[in-house]
Amino acid sequence: MESWLILLLMALFLLMEGFFSGSEIGVVNADKLKLRHQAAKGCRGSRLALDMLEKPEWLLATTLVGTNIAIVSNTTLATLLATQWLGEGKGWVAILFVAPLIWIVGEIVPKSIFQEHADTITPRVIFVLKGASVLFYPVLLIFTLFTRLITLVVGRGKARNPYTLREELDLMLQMPNHEDGDVQQEERTMIRRMFTFSELRARDIMVPLIQVVSTTRTATCGEALALCAQHGHTRLPVYAGRVDNLVGHVSGLDLLGQPKQSPISPFIKPVPYVPMSKPVEDLLVEFRKSGEHVAVVVGEFGGSQGIMTLEDILERVVGDIEDEYDTKEQSPRWVQKINPTTYVVSAGMDVVALKERIGVELPEGSYKTLGGFMLEHLEDIPKVGQSLNYHKMTFTVEKATRKMIQEVKITF
C-alpha cells in the first residue's frame, strides 16, 4: 500500500476517533431540559437525542465501538508504515509516534470541544451516531447482552427517576426567558412560589393584628357595616374586651337589611385558632374541608397575633387577587411605578414579593417586610423624607405615622 494512502487513512481514522470520543462526552453532558425545549419547538435532532438517551448503554456502546475501531485501525496502519519505512522489527516506533497523536488529537481536544458546545453540537451529531448504531448493530447487540448479564450478576444500580426533579425545575427557571419559550415569566414566578409554599408557616403570611380592622362584640349592625364600607372589607373580626382577644367574625352580607341599631352578636360566627407555626398547606386543607375563610393566629400565651384568610394563602401562589372592594392603599403588596428607576411601594410588602415585583433583593434578617428592613437599618422610627442608602439604591419614607412606616419610595 502506498505511503500517502496510509497517511490519508490514518488521518481519517484519527478524525473518526475524535468524533466518537467527543460525541460520547457531548451527548452525555447535553442539557436535557434544553433538548426537551428544542424538541418541543420541532428540532428533530433534539428529539432523536432524547430517544437515544432513553437507552444510554446502547449509545455509549456505539461511541465505544467506533472509537476502538479507529484506534485499532490507526495503530495497525502506523505499524505498517513504520515497517515500510524502517524495515522489519521497527513497529514499536509506530507506537511511540501514534500514541501521543491519538491521546491529544483523538481524545483530549475533541472531548474538550464537544463538552464546551454540547448543547449545540448534540442535535447535529446525533444523526451520525444513529447511523453508526445501525451499522454496528450485531456488535452492539452482543455488547449490550453482555452488559445486562454483568448487571444481573453484580446487581442493579439505583433506578432512574422518571419524574422531573426539583433541581431540574430550578435549572429551568434559571434559563433565559424567551418570548416564544415554553415557560413565561408569570409561570416561572408561580412555580417558584409553589416551591416555597410547603415551607410557609402561619407567621409568614398572617396580617399582623395592628393592621387588622376589627369591631367589638357589642357593636351594632350599622357600625359594623360602616367599617366594612370605610375599609373595603366583606368580613370583620370581632373582639371581646381587648383587641387581641378575637372571638369570631361577621360577614357584611349577613348584616345587610338588618336594623342599624341591632346588635351583631346573633351574626357572629366562630373562628378557628391556629398557632404561628402552623404549616400553611395544612391550613389550606382544613379551610377546604370546613368551608372556613378566616383563621386567627395566636401566640404561645394565647393572645391573637393576627389573622389569615383563604385569599392570603392563594395569593402566595397565584399573586395578588383583587376584587371590586380592593384599593392599592389597602393592599400590603401594592406598587406604583413613577418612572423606570423610581417606585413607591407599600412598606408592608414582604421581601419575597418585593423581589418578584420590581427585582429588589434585600439581605436576610429578622424582618419580613420592606418596612422592617428600614427599621432594622435605621434603628429608629423614621420621619417622612428620611432616607436610607443601600447597594446603589435609595429608600425614602414617603408616608409614615408615629409608630410605623407606611409607604417607601425606592430609587435605583
Average of pLDDT values for 128-149? 83
Contact 123, 46 (CB under 8 A): yes
Please give the pLDDT value at position 227.
Answer: 92
Asked whether residue 244 falls in the same domain as residue 308, the answer is: yes
Q: Same structural domain for residues 312 and 333?
A: no
Can you read off the three cell numbers belonging to residue 19?
A: 468524533
Interaxial angle between packed helices 32-40 and 166-174, expressed in degrees from 0 to 180 and rounded to the nearest 10: 70
Residue 168 counted as domain residue? no
- Per-residue pLDDT band for 6 (boundaries 50, 70, 90) equals confident
Show Cβ contacts of residue 340 under 8 Å, excluding neighbours closer than 6 positions. none
Q: What is the pLDDT of residues 55-82, one digit of tens each?
A: 877 888 888 888 888 888 888 888 787 7
Residues 217 and 302 in one domain: yes
pLDDT tops 80 at residue 385: yes
Round to whole Å and give the CA distance between 297 and 180. 44
Q: What is the DSSP string of 252-312?
A: HHHHTTS-TTSBSGGG-B---EEETT-BHHHHHHHHHHH---EEEEE-TTS-EEEEEEHHH
- Contact call for residues 209 and 304 (beta carbons, < 8 A): yes
CA 281/CA 197 separation, integer angstroms: 7
323 found inside a domain: no
Q: Per residue in 28-43, pLDDT tens?
A: 888 887 888 788 778 8
97 half-sphere exposure, CB direction, 13 A CA radius: 16
CA dihedral angle for residue 364, residue 369, residue 370, residue 375, rounded to 10 degrees: -80
Please state, in angstroms and as integers, the Cα–Cα distance from residue 198 to each residue in 152, 171, 272, 369, following that order.
40, 20, 21, 20
Based on the fold, state whether residues 308 and 339 are members of the same structural domain.
no
* Whether residue 8 is found in the same domain as residue 148: yes
Residue 165 lies in a domain: no
Q: Is 322 left (phi over 0), alpha (psi -120 to 50) or beta?
A: beta
Angle of helix 351-358 relative to helix 370-378, nearest 10 degrees, comes to: 110
359 and 227 in one domain? Answer: no
Are 293 and 339 in a shared domain? no
Identify whether residues 67 and 134 lie together within a single domain.
yes
- Model confidence pLDDT, tens digit, residues 201-254: 888 888 888 888 999 999 999 999 999 988 888 889 999 988 889 999 999 999
- Which of 164, 197, 230 lies at the terminal end of a domain, its last residue? 197
Q: Are 301 and 355 part of one and the same domain?
A: no
Same domain, 288 and 272: yes
Lowest-confidence segment of 39-43, 165-169, 297-301, 356-360 by average pLDDT: 165-169
Separation CA 70–CA 63 (nearest Å): 11
Report the CATH number at residue 382.
Answer: 3.30.465.10
Please give the model's pTM, rounded to 2 decimal places.
0.50
- Considering the domain architecture, whether residues 95 and 186 belong to the same structural domain is answered as no
Residue 160 lies in a domain: no
- Cα distance between residue 371 and residue 365, in whole Å: 12
Q: What is the CATH number of the domain that holds 208?
A: 3.10.580.10
Which domain, by its residues, includes 94? 3-154
DSSP β-ladder status, 342-346 and 405-411: antiparallel
- Give the residue from 125, 154, 183 where a domain finishes: 154
- Per residue in 142-197, pLDDT (tens digit) is 877 877 787 777 655 555 554 455 555 555 555 555 554 555 666 666 666 777 77
Domain final residue, candidates 318, 340, 358: 318
Q: Residues 180, 216: one domain?
A: no
Q: How many domains does the chain have?
A: 4
Q: What is the pLDDT of residue 322?
A: 54
**Is position 263 within any domain?**
yes
Please indicate whether residue 35 or residue 356 has the higher confidence score (pLDDT): 35
| Position 161 in a domain | no
Residue 327 binned pLDDT confidence (cut-offs 50, 70, 90)? very low
